[in-house]
Amino acid sequence: MKSVKGISIFLLLSSVTAAGFQNCGPGFEALQVAESLTSVASSFPVITEKRGCKFVGPDVLADRIKNKLGIAGGDFPVLNLSGQEDPNVLRLTSNLDALGKGNIAKGTFDDFSCGAVRFKAAMEVMIDACALALKDRNVQNRLFPRGPRDFEEVYRAFIGRSPTDMEHEVLLDLVNSAPVEKREIMACGVVASSFEALITI
Amino acid sequence: MNRRSFLTKTGLLLGGLGVNETFKLDLMEKLARQLLPFAHAQGADAPPRRTIELCFRAGIPMTIFAQGKAFNSTDNLYSNFNYPNNSTARPMPNGATARNIVYNIDSAPLLEYADYIAITQGIVVNPLHTNMFDYREGGPGAGKPSPAVELANANSTQSIVHGVIFPLSGNGGNDVRNSTGGLRDLEKTNNATEFKALFKNPVLRLTAYEVNTVLKAAEKLSRRQALLLDTKLSEATKHVNAHASAVKLFERDLTAELNVQNTMSSFFQRDIQTSASGGQSNRARESLTAVRENLALVLKAFQLNLINSAVITVDVEDWHGYRDGRHQGAIARDMSEMLRAAIRFMQTTPDPAAPELKLWDTTVIVAGSEFARGISAAYGAGDNPDSGTQSFMMIGKNVRGDYYGNFKLGQRGAYGGEVAVGFDPQTGVAYSIESRKRNTAEQAYHTIRAACGLKLSTTEKEKALKAMLRV
């Protein structure tokens, strides 16, 4: 009886709070229910549930390194302290633990939760991959066909959509302050290591 | 709307509906957690909270550090302390309020902190052998988040990384895993090198200035992306903050500061005494060497606010393998010295999340074993189940130091005659031996959560072993 009563009250409160507290200030989420969307065909609101954050994982990064940046094998050597390539240590492979890849030998499973360690490792990989790949003029022309201030292609490659005006503004500021020879490399690094590029929802 | 205001208004609403008082409080807590997750971790004026969980594998009872007075009533019957140093129990220091506890020569480094160290062996264990720390998940199969996981996810210190677990101590051996209850698990770092790598700046194909410029722009772009994602992504702000924390990880290379052999020399003044003598393998020594460095790293990371909480595995092989008294004593001594160094560090180091407080004010160390070997009086008949008990120890400012529970030794060679019992949760008075009554893993779980400053519902508070706490 108590649990039935509890569920009823919970549902009652849920509906009351979801309806009444939607504008209670930043940080408030009414049972994680997204804003109501009114469809053309109906005046009834369509409730869309928000999803949790999931990191893309190393396989997706490898695919981007290979197919978007044209680096064969989807991985590449790190630089040592002297700035020389170390063929024995690959950037993505050496970061697999930090990227949340499970390891049967260690008895661990994939953990692609969104966290600082995952993001840091992915930033490291993608910024370095852009710096390596965009030395190739062909890759540069593919991602920036209309020059370093047109972000349409690079955004589509890593985010899957066009940049908004506000996003364009951030990238333009960056390019305007970057060394001429590094403009495309740095813009690629920013987009490829941005939040939306590194999560799936 | 803040949490307090929400609870007040919801309470009035539920009260008006005639809901039972206890049930009302629980329901309000559940609603507050779902509706105001950002406010769940702590009230506006609550201090930040951290924990270090030391998880002892392979049957080590926490009574290696100190015992109730009942243990000392008979000499040489208690196999765990069948070594010379145990015969001389240390008296409590003057002014100490703990009454039912005695330390031994090897655990003497902890004596001056006895008022803040609580130990019990009276927690029931089921199954009798290893249960993989069911007191860390709310009881057998309960699947609730381990205290360190819960605290790290709340991350009241706003540390860059929420928490880490060292699943192994040294190379190989038995591991420890967390129960997450659906929360994000701690970052796994198998050794000190992997831990330091989290905070090391990589050499990239751009200059440091260029990398910094890219990261700042990426952070700015990410915040704008998060605004667009807010309708699709749960807790978008929290997640984009994790992205911003990652940017912070590039700001400076912490390799030098995390070289704890140099920066925390008080931890490393004496060599680990546990050796490969007595026919034992080297694993115990290697393990304790790793545990000491891991513990120092965690405390250093607290000082730099790099992490909120941590779990450290301690595996020195099967405890019933140690029948060489000197070997047992060395392990107790090494661990006690490590813990004393940790306490001293915490008492003198400000918590960067609240500089007016010391780490001692904000941190609880919890040590425990998933089962206990060696309490049996008999060697020959096997000593795995230890009369069905497991143990835990808490160290911290919120802890009321003492040994809790009671014990009756069986006859040598008459395995099974011994009885460990628990204690009254409110008063701390030990249950009678005849009652054979023990406390539960669920009670231990909520006690640890309370000591860590986690928010307990009314029913959870009733389950906590309040006698062990000062809060």
**Which residue reads 């985010």 in tokens?**
A159
User: Residue B246 domain-assigned?
Assistant: no
Is some CB atom of chain B closer than 8 A to the CB atom of A132?
A: yes
* Residue range B44-68: mean pLDDT, rounded: 85
User: Residue B237 domain-assigned?
Assistant: no
User: Residue B104 domain-assigned?
Assistant: yes
**Which residue reads 């940049």 in tokens?**
A163
* Residue range B150-177: mean pLDDT, rounded: 90
CATH of the domain at B158: 3.40.720.10
Q: Which of A52, A106, A167 sits opposite B221 (nearest CB)?
A: A167
What backbone phi and psi angles, to 5 degrees, belong to A78? -80, 165
How many CB atoms sit inside 10 A of residue A180's CB? 7
Strand pairing class (A85-90; B161-166)? unpaired
Chain B positions touching A170 (Cβ under 8 A) are 217, 220-221, 224
- Does pLDDT of B32 surpass 80? no
Q: Which domain holds residue B118?
A: 47-191+282-468
Is the pLDDT higher at A91 or at B272? A91
Question: In chain B, pLDDT over 70 holds for what percent of residues?
Answer: 76
Q: Across the interface, do B214 and A198 touch by the CB < 8 Å criterion?
A: no
Q: How far apart are CA A135 and CA B205, in angstroms?
A: 11
Q: Residue B83: its pLDDT value, please?
A: 47
Q: How far apart are CA B338 and CA B254, in angstroms?
A: 23
Average pLDDT, chain B: 82
pLDDT tens digit sequence for B200-216: 999 999 999 999 999 99
Q: How far apart are CA B200 and CA B256, in angstroms?
A: 9
Give Dmax (Cα) for chain B: 74
pLDDT tens digit sequence for B353-382: 999 999 999 999 999 998 877 654 444 445
Least trusted range by pLDDT, from A96-105, B7-16, B272-281, B311-320: B7-16
Q: How many CA atoms lie within 13 A of A41 on its CB side?
A: 1
pTM for the full predicted model: 0.81
User: Residue B198 domain-assigned?
Assistant: no
Q: Which of A6, A17, A80 sits opposite B203 (nearest CB)?
A: A80
The H or E element spanning position A140 is helix A137-143
Q: Residue B130: its pLDDT value, please?
A: 77
Tokens of A57: 């994982």
pLDDT tens digit sequence for A131-144: 999 999 999 999 99
Give the count of domains, chain B.
1
Q: How far apart are CA B140 and CA B124, in angstroms?
A: 10
Q: Across the interface, do B234 and A108 touch by the CB < 8 Å criterion?
A: no
What backbone phi and psi angles, to 5 degrees, belong to A121? -65, -40
pLDDT tens digit sequence for B86-140: 556 677 777 777 778 888 888 889 999 999 999 998 998 877 777 789 999 999 9
In angstroms and rounded to an integer, the radius of gyration of the C-alpha atoms of chain A is 22
- ipTM comes to 0.78
